[in-house]
Amino acid sequence: MQIIRNYKNIPDQAKNSVLALGNFDGVHLGHLEILKEVLKIAKAENKKTAIMTFSPHPLEFFSKNKKVQLFSFQDKIQFFQDLGIDYLFIVKFNQEFANVTAANFVSDILVKHLKVSSIVMGYDFIFGKNRQGNAEFLKNKSSKHGFGFSQITSYKSSNYNLVYSSTEIRKALEQGDIQKVNNLLGKNYFISNRVIGGDNRGAGLGFRTANLKIDNLHLPKFGVYAVKLCYQNKYYEAVANLGVKPTFAQNKPNLEVHIFNFSEDLYGQKVKVAFIDFIRAEKKFASKEELIAQIKLDCNKAKELLNAA
């Protein structure tokens, strides 16, 4: 997959593609329907496939401190690559781009620069200055400019009767409802990053941990989770604490993972922590002994949940 960050300088081979439009912040089951349609049309018409997405997420740009991304941008890119998408257009979302009208977005970017063959979008995608552009607008423009247009309707989870959407996934994350999150995503929610040095408190308590930075993500509810850590394509059962460790007055969120029956040094290694189930909310303990006793209970509960999963 080729990544293109300047839509004004598009290689000829990337033009005339079948294009998916959207933020795709979760690449959830609803997003997959859009991308499956792109692949289907491209195969039928012998065209290349492409996605246009935005960085930062428009919601983050306008709200500044708000974090909405469900996965890191690198993980999102990997999702697209695994699906076999040919080109990824990453548009820098800044004030200049925010001022582009819906009409100019279509005529100047999609038609003039990308020369799109067809466009596929979801049921709720909005674009252009003051959110002027929607599916009906783009459908009308497709007739004028001569490109194909498809809109994917909303799909619902049969388990929860909820539309597959990033908004619903963020709500479920905030509630610590990992089973709902995973159902809406169509895969296990995970956080991936390199293991960093910690304060060694876990080892001092008898529970060695791998620590991950978790910047720039919309985080799950702070607490303890049953997880699986993936390292070098192998999964290991583990328990994880996500939060600010109130017992030790830490104020920056951190993810620390205790892997069962594991002794390798992971410092500096890239790992993925897949969340399987929620165990309990984060809390402050009165003593080191009380904390150790609770960690033992958490480990046992995690093993129970992982065995049942």
Same-domain check for residues 47 and 99: yes
Contact 45, 116 (CB under 8 A): no
CATH of residue 79's domain is: 3.40.50.620
pLDDT in tens, 263-301: 888 999 999 999 999 999 998 887 888 888 999 999 999
pLDDT band at 203 (very low <50, low <70, confident <90, very high): low
User: How many domains would you assign to the chain?
Assistant: 3
Q: Which of 170, 186, 202 is the last residue of a domain?
A: 186
Same-domain check for residues 214 and 164: no
pLDDT computed for residue 161 by the predictor = 86
Same-domain check for residues 175 and 198: no
Same-domain check for residues 192 and 181: no
Same-domain check for residues 138 and 167: no
**Helices 29-45 and 73-83, axial angle in degrees (round to 10):** 40
Same-domain check for residues 200 and 295: yes
pLDDT computed for residue 159 by the predictor = 86
Same-domain check for residues 176 and 205: no
Task: Please count the other Cβ atoms lying within 10 Å of the Cβ belonging to residue 146.
Answer: 10
Same-domain check for residues 168 and 261: no
CATH of residue 211's domain is: 2.40.30.30
Containing domain of residue 297, as a range?
A: 188-308
Above 90 in pLDDT, residue 99?
Answer: yes
Phi, psi of 138 (to 5 degrees): -70, -35
pLDDT computed for residue 95 by the predictor = 94
**Helices 178-185 and 166-174, axial angle in degrees (round to 10):** 160
Same-domain check for residues 215 and 289: yes
pTM attached to this predicted model: 0.90
Sheet holding 2-4: strands in order across? Answer: 2-4, 87-92, 49-55, 18-21, 118-121, 148-151
pLDDT in tens, 28-80: 999 999 999 999 999 999 999 999 999 999 999 988 778 899 999 999 999 99
Residue scoring higher pLDDT (309 or 121): 121
Same-domain check for residues 209 and 162: no
Residue scoring higher pLDDT (226 or 153): 226
Above 60 in pLDDT, residue 202?
Answer: no
Same-domain check for residues 30 and 129: yes
Span of 222-226, 227-231, 248-252 with lowest mean pLDDT: 248-252
pLDDT computed for residue 211 by the predictor = 92
Same-domain check for residues 23 and 146: yes
